[in-house]
Structure 1
Amino acid sequence: MLHDLLILYTLFFRMGAVTFGGGYAMLPILRREIIQNHKWMDEETIMDYYALSQGLPGIIAINVSVFIGYKQRKIPGAVAAALGMVSPCIIIISIIAFFLSSFQDNPYVQHALAGISVCVAALILDAVISMWKKGVKDLFGIVVCLAMLALNTFTDLSPILLVITCALLGIGAKMIQGKTGKEEKK
């Protein structure tokens, strides 16, 4: 059991150390490690964890790590995964805070951060494409996705309200689909 917790901690520590840009940027790494290398769960489960994590308070990456850790080893697994995810951040932020005034104006540091930003944008785009492929399955999904994108972009509506609205729309669509399916069988 301790060995399994150490594996969870180490895995999420490595992800936390290279996941600049938050939870969406970690999706490609998460897919490779959790689905392909360890075979702990399938892509649909990961996407469900992402969707649920977006509607919960807190940082998506930590929420997802808690769900995965919990699935593997219940509460001790959730704690190990969450600690693994936040440990690199605490270490890196502590080091940066200590030395910040010494190198914040260094052009090499500024260029490195600009390069990291480009990489993060690519990782987030990969996550968006993957989530689109898994989540948007029909015309209803396309319409809802585009409507929520427009609302998020052009209004000040809370993302929480958008997530709740989409959840209700999904439930409603499933109920209508269920009724239509029953009527067709008759």
Structure 2
Amino acid sequence: MKELLELFWVFARMGAVTFGGGYAMLPIIQREIVEKRGWATEEEVMDYYAIGQCTPGIIAVNTSTFIGYRRKGILGGFVATFGFVFPSLVIIMLIAAFLRNFAHITYVKYAFDGIRICVCALILDAVLKLGKKSVIDKWCAGICIVITLLSVFTSLSPVVLVILSAAAGISIKSMQEMKGGKA
């Protein structure tokens, strides 16, 4: 029971500062789960991000579910997920109740402008950290460049991009193994 409460509170604290969606939360999840608590390795969390991107829902919520499940099974997945979304539900209900009264105030508009910039910086931080761990050789760099270009210049679904990346990774690594070495 103690571990379940800890799961709830850890994810509730992270969920309470979820500004800008799931991607903005990735560095916070990484710092809290990998560096501070040691509940998962960086590689495992990166795998959770990849799977979370391919499954319906918000990537940070999906990742919390995976981590909770890893720690305490199905109940742990539920508790971690509920912990992550609970603060958002409360905050959204409060904002919905009062936003109409304050949205026209100049300083509220300025605050939201500042928050949007912060969210961009948090997302960039997550991208840079993930990139450092993910781009491990020239083939990974090539896949990264191609998928980035496809993402920017086409309307392909992220699921299709992940499947293409997986297929490329399997193909390249299989060919390397058949040749008996690394490229």
TM range (shorter): over 0.9
Aligned ranges 1:86-101 → 2 under 5 Å: 86-101=85-100
What is the identity percentage for the equivalent residue pairs of Structure 1 and Structure 2? 50
Aligned ranges 1:112-131 → 2 under 5 Å: 112-131=111-130
Aligned ranges 1:110-149 → 2 under 5 Å: 110-149=109-148
| CA drift at 1:120 | 1.0
Mapped partners of 1:160, 1:27: distance in 2: 19
Q: How many residues align?
A: 181
Residues 120-149 of structure 1: per-residue CA shift (max 9 Å, x gap): 111111100011111111111111111111
- Tell me which residue corresponds to 1:72: 71
The answer for unaligned runs of 5 or more in structure 1 is none
- Tell me which residue corresponds to 2:165: 166
The SS at the match of 1:39 is coil
Q: Structure 1 residue 53 and structure 2 residue 43: aligned?
A: no
Residues 97-127 of structure 1: per-residue CA shift (max 9 Å, x gap): 1112101111121111111111111111110
The answer for unaligned runs of 5 or more in structure 2 is none
User: TM-score of the superposition, structure 2-length normalised?
Assistant: 0.95
Aligned ranges 1:27-46 → 2 under 5 Å: 27-46=26-45
User: TM-score of the superposition, structure 1-length normalised?
Assistant: 0.93
The SS at the match of 1:99 is helix
Residues 126-173 of structure 1: per-residue CA shift (max 9 Å, x gap): 100011111111111111111111111111112211111111111111
Mapped partners of 1:162, 1:35: distance in 2: 27
Mapped partners of 2:155, 2:40: distance in 1: 36
The SS at the match of 1:18 is coil
| Paired AA for residue 113 in structure 2 | A
Greater alpha carbon shift after TM alignment, 22-31 vs 158-167: 22-31
Mapped partners of 1:110, 1:13: distance in 2: 27
| CA drift at 1:15 | 0.6
Mapped partners of 2:40, 2:158: distance in 1: 28
Mapped partners of 2:67, 2:127: distance in 1: 20
Query: Which stretches of structure 1, 4 residues or longer, exceed 6 Å deviation after superposition?
Result: none
| CA drift at 1:37 | 1.7
| Paired AA for residue 102 in structure 1 | N
Greater alpha carbon shift after TM alignment, 9-18 vs 172-181: 172-181
How large is the Cα RMSD of the aligned pairs? 1.2
Greater alpha carbon shift after TM alignment, 106-115 vs 78-87: 106-115
| CA drift at 1:23 | 2.1
